[in-house]
Structure 1
Amino acid sequence: MPTAIAVTSADMALAPQDERTLPAVVLQGLDHLPLDQALSAVQTVLDQYGHLVVVFSRAAPLAVGRRLHTIRSLLESDRIALFRPDLPPLGLAVLARQLRQLASCDLSPGVLASAGRLLTHYIHCGALLGSVARLDRVPVGLTAHARSWVPGSQFGVLAHPVPHVVKVGPETSLPGPEFGTWMLTAPGQPPSDWVTETLAAQWNVQGLREVPPPAESAVWWGTGKFVEFAAYLPDLPVLYQLVTSVRQGVCHWCGIDVIGDRCVFCSAAPPSNDNQLTAR
């Protein structure tokens, strides 16, 4: 039984990367449904799949996060993992699709859910912005803020893995991945070929595709004038090798297989040795 990978809006469910990519479960409008209906919807998913990993954005309305935590608490389920990494919406949609790819493999629910934290390190994402005046999710210097008021200014912003902001010019570059990637772009209002031609060439991307921008992108970037981009590893064998090459452990609390230092289902961290007595 494959683990369900869920997103909280339909525009975060990207088209399949390959024929093995499983469809996303879309939990749209949970915060607007009566609580009993929302509980029933999530319980149905659990009954069908066994385990559920919900990937949602930090730009999502606060009510969405509260409702998800409420549902998890009321169902008293350790089979629901809530994953909210600090990625822009397009990068998050890419990550959710990678997990959907891996969900077709022989990975246990705990390892699959833990893989989300690992794979975030291999996603390079940002945007071309017409203004950084309202950008508060990436450190922006006073000079860049001042230049935002100059008509025609554009800024290249790398949000992850290392924040970086530059004013776009002939020699502008952003630090990119040191491995082969594909790039996904989501253009907002301003037409520009800087991302698809200049940046894509600098990063030596092996493929380029365009999708509509997620609705939460304008909130995340603080402006509707953006071209969002995300460079990522597209191939399932590479993703699978990355995940399976990491040492696995067993959560001391719920007993599920995990990778990393914290169980994503019960949130238990490894027991500390500080309180253990040493025989003398």
Structure 2
Amino acid sequence: MPTVIASTSADLVLPPTDQQTPTAAVVQAPEAQPLDTALADMHLLLEQHGYVVVVYPASVSTAQEQRMFAIRAMLESDRIALLRSDLPPLGVAALVRQLRQLSVCDFSAGVIASAARLLAHYVYAGAVLNSVTRLDRVPVSLRTHAKSWLPGSQFAVLAGPNPRLHRIGTSAEVLSGPDFATQLVVAGGQASAEWVTGTLAPAWQVQGVQEAALPADSARWWGTPKLAEFAAFLPDVSVLYQLVASVRRARCHWCSLELIGDRCGFCSAPLTLPEPENLPRALNPT
């Protein structure tokens, strides 16, 4: 069975792009599920799939994050990866879907888990906000904070991969976007998504626009409920496969799982490169 991908809310599980893309499991919040039930559910996932990769936004509650680490510790399992992402919630949802696509490919669980950091650099996630006064996850100048008090102000904010902020209506400028083919997913909230679909999507030359429900964590992440969130992502599994397969693989020195990049997705141990054999013994301590 393929490695199962999980997240912390059902609204972070976007519809599949094809019939081969599996759904994701949902790790419930403590107030929604007793601990013994949560333990049983996780144990069942491990029995059915072998490995579980949980991806969740940094805005998730402290109680839910602590619950996940407690479950992993109580099950004494090294087959559960807990991956906290700095992407906004809708960006996390796009990333979760990409990992679901890759989970049915011939990659090991370790490669899939460590691929999350790589793929996050190719997700252009942002939002249209009516105010940035409580936005603390993207750098905002004092002058911009002051302008956000003006009636009718709207801001387009790109959280990653390169944070940017643009006040809508002040110029013809549009946020810098990806230089590769993407699709766009849009989640309308209490702010209009018209600028995203009518201005941003054509400027970024996206191949398609999909609508989704606004994740529950989005208002907390962006600091306001008056927003419309968007994320541009690589939709083609063959492109995702080539991207991940092109990265050199290594073996984690701690848990022995395969990894790509500089850190293991399961145990978080950093990659240790082999020491050059031609160094003098004095510079090559044991």
What is the TM-score when the length of structure 1 is the normalising length? 0.95
Instruction: Find the aligned partners of 2:149 and 2:193 in 1 and give their Cα distance.
Output: 19
Instruction: Find the aligned partners of 2:269 and 2:136 in 1 and give their Cα distance.
Output: 31
Q: In the TM superposition, what is the alpha-carbon distance from 1:181 to its structure 2 partner?
A: 0.6
Matched, 1:82 2:63: no
Q: In the TM superposition, what is the alpha-carbon distance from 1:273 to its structure 2 partner?
A: 7.2
Contact 2:186-2:193 at 8 Å conserved across structures? no
SS of equivalent to 1:198: helix
Q: State the AA in 2 paired with 1:234.
A: P
Q: In the TM superposition, what is the alpha-carbon distance from 1:265 to its structure 2 partner?
A: 1.1
Q: In the TM superposition, what is the alpha-carbon distance from 1:191 to its structure 2 partner?
A: 2.3
Matched, 1:271 2:268: no
4+ runs deviating over 6 angstroms = none
The aligned counterpart of 1:99 is 99
Q: State the AA in 1 paired with 2:252.
A: C
The aligned counterpart of 2:131 is 131
Instruction: Find the aligned partners of 1:127 and 1:230 in 2 and give their Cα distance.
Output: 8
Instruction: Find the aligned partners of 1:134 and 1:119 in 2 and give their Cα distance.
Output: 28
Q: Could you say what the CA RMSD is over the residues aligned between the two structures, in angstroms? A: 1.6
Q: In the TM superposition, what is the alpha-carbon distance from 1:35 to its structure 2 partner?
A: 2.4
Q: In the TM superposition, what is the alpha-carbon distance from 1:30 to its structure 2 partner?
A: 4.1
Total equivalences in the alignment: 279
Query: Percent of aligned positions with the same letter in both sequences?
Result: 55
The aligned counterpart of 2:183 is 182
The aligned counterpart of 2:166 is 166
The aligned counterpart of 1:66 is 66
Could you give the per-residue CA deviations for residues 80-125 of structure 1, whole angstroms, max 9, x where no partner exists? 0001110000000000000000111111110111111110011001
Unaligned residue ranges in structure 1 (runs of 5+): none
Could you give the per-residue CA deviations for residues 187-229 of structure 1, whole angstroms, max 9, x where no partner exists? 1112242110111111111111111100110111111111101
SS of equivalent to 2:187: strand
Contact 1:31-1:63 at 8 Å conserved across structures? no
Q: In the TM superposition, what is the alpha-carbon distance from 1:28 to its structure 2 partner?
A: 2.1
The aligned counterpart of 1:232 is 233
Contact 2:110-2:257 at 8 Å conserved across structures? yes
Q: State the AA in 1 paired with 2:126.
A: G
The aligned counterpart of 2:145 is 145
Q: In the TM superposition, what is the alpha-carbon distance from 1:31 to its structure 2 partner?
A: 5.4
Q: State the AA in 2 paired with 1:187.
A: G
Q: In the TM superposition, what is the alpha-carbon distance from 1:268 to its structure 2 partner?
A: 1.5
Could you give the per-residue CA deviations for residues 43-80 of structure 1, whole angstroms, max 9, x where no partner exists? 11111110000011111111111111111112111100
Contact 1:31-1:67 at 8 Å conserved across structures? no
Q: In the TM superposition, what is the alpha-carbon distance from 1:26 to its structure 2 partner?
A: 1.3
The aligned counterpart of 2:41 is 41
Contact 2:91-2:125 at 8 Å conserved across structures? yes
Q: In the TM superposition, what is the alpha-carbon distance from 1:271 to its structure 2 partner?
A: 3.4
Matched, 1:15 2:20: no
Instruction: Find the aligned partners of 1:24 and 1:192 in 2 and give their Cα distance.
Output: 27
Contact 2:128-2:191 at 8 Å conserved across structures? no
Of the structure 1 ranges 86-95 and 193-202, higher mean CA displacement relative to structure 2 is found in 193-202
Q: State the AA in 2 paired with 1:279.
A: R
Instruction: Find the aligned partners of 2:155 and 2:96 in 1 and give their Cα distance.
Output: 27
